Amino acid sequence: MQFSTIGYQVDGQIARLTLRRPEVSNGFNIPMCEEILSAI
């Protein structure tokens, strides 16, 4: 999966989400929330 506001990595049974909006201190917005919901 490719996302623009989060990083997503799976290693076995563990999934890691990384917030990637440092220009706004990783503040949440609607696109980021949608990507997180899509990832999980």
Q: How far is the C-alpha of 16 from the C-alpha of 10, rounded, in Å?
A: 6
pLDDT of 21 reads: 96
Q: Are 9 and 16 in contact (CB under 8 A)?
A: yes
What are the domain boundaries of the chain?
A: 6-39
With a cut of 80, say whether residue 20 has pLDDT above it. yes
pLDDT of 1 reads: 76
**Mean pLDDT, range 7-17, rounded to an integer:** 95
With a cut of 80, say whether residue 28 has pLDDT above it. yes
Note the pTM of the prediction, 2 decimals: 0.81
| H runs (alpha helix) in 1-40 | 30-39
